Amino acid sequence: LRTDITPQIVSEVRARRIDLGIVEGELSASEREQINVAPLQAFDQFVVVGRKHPWWGREHVSIDAIDGQSLITRQPHSQTRLWLEAVLLEHSVQPRIAAEFDHLESIKRAVTAGQCLTILPSYTVEQEQQLGLLHVIPIDGSPLQRMLKLIWNPAAHLSPVARAFMTHLETFFPGLGISAPTEPGAS
């Protein structure tokens, strides 16, 4: 098991260096033509603030309120950053980029320590939220959402462990249609 950015995981799956990938990043049309993609679950994205932020304790926020706010985000050209910029642009929202980091833990620590906000799925900050370090604020209308996807190379011979994992996933995500995928050349 390892983590990496979406383009790297896609590259590894296409090159058959790994059997399966679970990604949140967006896939290009050419990538979708070369790999199988099974949507797993959509995750809402939330505004996340630390104790020093004036929004600490708020129960919800409009997406428009993010305009002009100090935002800590991923580095330029990352899948997450490109997605976030596109969504905010759709809503004519322009936050002030206060810091850019290439690691989720760095983003969370910076938000915890300061008065900036970030936008993340709630599962990434559960521990900090339980400890009272970060506060998760739903965005009115939940306009920010990303899809977690399982990817694999349709031409690859999947290991028994990979096939068993895919079958196991169907118990949590029924209707994926991925259990017992056929091997290349099988009829």
Identify residue 120 by its one-letter amino acid code: L
Per the CB < 8 A criterion, the answer to whether 40 and 174 are in contact is: no
Distance, CA of 44 to CA of 39 (rounded, Å): 15
- Summarised one tens digit per residue, pLDDT across range 63-92 is 999 999 999 999 998 888 999 999 999 999
Per the CB < 8 A criterion, the answer to whether 74 and 107 are in contact is: yes
- Summarised one tens digit per residue, pLDDT across range 87-116 is 999 999 999 999 999 999 999 999 999 999
Distance, CA of 163 to CA of 167 (rounded, Å): 6
What is the model's pTM?
0.81
- Summarised one tens digit per residue, pLDDT across range 164-181 is 999 899 898 887 766 545
Distance, CA of 172 to CA of 152 (rounded, Å): 18
Residue 110: count other Cβ atoms within 10 Å of its Cβ. 16
pLDDT at 187 over 50: no
Q: Mean pLDDT of all residues in the chain?
A: 90
Whole-angstrom Cα Rg for the chain: 19
Distance, CA of 137 to CA of 44 (rounded, Å): 11
Distance, CA of 108 to CA of 114 (rounded, Å): 10
What are the structural domains, with CATH classification, of the chain? Answer: 6-41+147-172 (3.40.190.10), 44-145 (3.40.190.290)
Distance, CA of 83 to CA of 26 (rounded, Å): 8
* Portion of the chain with pLDDT greater than 90, in percent: 73
* Residue of 117 and 176 predicted with greater confidence: 117
